[in-house]
């Protein structure tokens, strides 16, 4: 069972303490644990829409796709690139925008098998993602919340992971301990290129999601990772499409062409970047 410790009230940032199935702040705000053990710390006033983040259907498609292990090489690339010396006997991880929890689960299993004690928190703005994640693994603190205002105190984590997500660097820096690590994973120029050629009349020039220079962080390692994988049914192809923005962005003709496919070999092309949080200089007056 997860501890749901070290969380803070999303309304006033006061520490939350747990009394059975309720988290309480000293100012009287209360948050009930869901049946499956996750906690919703996204106050209504912080929601831009009624049902923010990935929909139930997108989450189901992502879970079905990831469970086929086509992206296991990404897990292995994260583990093999983990900066030397940054892994100790105990490590606290936040997966910010964790989706249905595949990566946090796989990474923690591998790290635990190396004898490392891993405390895990997974946060996503989609309640559907967190509901699915909370059924996957009971030993994680699963939180519905937003990267824009993380319901956690400063200096809480040794590492923050953000894979294919929506990073908010000020918040990541705030919740990381000094010298803590940030991992960003994003898609590269050739990611799923074979499918994109079918979906779009022209392939646009590649634009990175964010620049590699971040003011609160030092870039310590950048790695490109590329591999191929096979999908051998229309159902698998639709699952992959449904978990990407292409399902909405592609033209009608493109989607119709993809619906005729029964098999495809695809390139996964991703970029990993590891950063270390800079220690802030304190000005003594």
Ligand X SMILES: C[S@@+](CC[C@H](N)C(=O)[O-])C[C@H]1O[C@@H](n2cnc3c(N)ncnc32)[C@H](O)[C@@H]1O
Burial of 216 (0-12, 13-18, 19+ CB in 10 A): middle
Rule CB under 6 A: is residue 124 a binding residue for ligand X? yes
The single-letter DSSP state of residue 46 is G
| Residue 186 marked in a binding site | no
- Binding partner of 129, given Zn ion, ligand X, none, CB within 5-8 angstroms per partner class: ligand X
Positions 42 through 71 that interact with ligand X (CB under 6 A): 53-54, 62
270: three-class secondary structure by DSSP: strand
Q: Least distance from C-beta 20 to ligand X, angstroms? A: 27
In terms of Cα–Cα distance, which of 130, 141, 83 is closest to 108? Answer: 141
In the beta sheet, which residues pair with residue 39?
A: 33, 143
CA 71 to chain centre: 14
Among residues 110 and 257, whose Cβ is nearest to ligand X? 110
The helix-helix angle for 127-136 and 102-113 (nearest 10°) equals 30
Using CB under 6 A, which of 31, 38, 65, 164 touches ligand X? 164
| Residue 204 marked in a binding site | no
Contact 266, 192 (CB under 8 A): yes
Rule CB under 5 A: is residue 29 a binding residue for Zn ion? yes
Among residues 22 and 224, whose Cβ is nearest to ligand X? 224
Rule CB under 6 A: is residue 78 a binding residue for ligand X? no
Q: Least distance from C-beta 52 to ligand X, angstroms? A: 7
| Residue 101 marked in a binding site | yes
Q: Least distance from C-beta 168 to ligand X, angstroms? A: 7
Q: Least distance from C-beta 259 to ligand X, angstroms? A: 22
Among residues 18 and 29, whose Cβ is nearest to Zn ion? 29
d(CA 241, CA 104): 22
Among residues 125 and 268, whose Cβ is nearest to ligand X? 125
Neighbours of 181 (CB within 10 A): 24
Contact 73, 268 (CB under 8 A): yes
Annotated binding site for Zn(2+): 25, 29
Q: Which residues bind ligand X (CB under 6 A)?
A: 53-54, 62, 97-99, 102-103, 124-126, 129, 146-148, 163-166
């Amino acid at each position: 069972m997860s501890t749901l410790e070290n969380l803070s009230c999303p309304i006033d940032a006061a520490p939350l303490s747990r009394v059975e199935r309720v988290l309480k702040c000293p100012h009287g705000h209360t948050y009930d644990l869901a049946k499956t053990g996750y906690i919703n710390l996204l106050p209504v006033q912080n929601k831009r829409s009624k049902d923010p983040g990935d929909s139930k259907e997108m989450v189901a498609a992502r879970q079905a796709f990831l469970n086929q292990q086509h992206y296991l090489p990404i897990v292995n690339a994260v583990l093999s690139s983990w900066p030397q010396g940054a892994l100790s006997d105990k490590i606290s991880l936040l997966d910010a925008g964790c989706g249905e929890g595949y990566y946090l689960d796989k990474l923690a299993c591998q790290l635990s098998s190396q004898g490392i004690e891993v405390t895990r928190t997974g946060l996503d703005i989609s309640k559907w993602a967190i509901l699915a994640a909370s059924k996957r693994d009971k030993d994680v603190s699963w939180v519905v919340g937003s990267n824009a205002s993380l319901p956690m105190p400063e200096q809480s984590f040794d590492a923050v992971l953000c894979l294919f997500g929506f990073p908010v660097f000020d918040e990541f820096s705030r919740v990381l301990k000094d010298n803590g690590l940030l991992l960003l994973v994003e898609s590269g120029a050739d990611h799923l290129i074979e499918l994109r050629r079918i979906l779009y009349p022209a392939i646009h020039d590649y634009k990175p999601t964010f620049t590699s220079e971040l003011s609160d962080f030092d870039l310590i390692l950048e790695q490109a990772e590329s591999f191929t994988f096979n999908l051998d049914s229309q159902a698998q192809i639709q699952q992959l499409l449904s978990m990407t923005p292409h399902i909405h962005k592609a033209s009608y003709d493109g989607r119709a062409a993809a619906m005729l496919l029964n098999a495809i070999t695809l390139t996964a092309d991703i970029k990993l970047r590891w950063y270390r949080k800079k220690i802030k200089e304190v000005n003594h007056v």
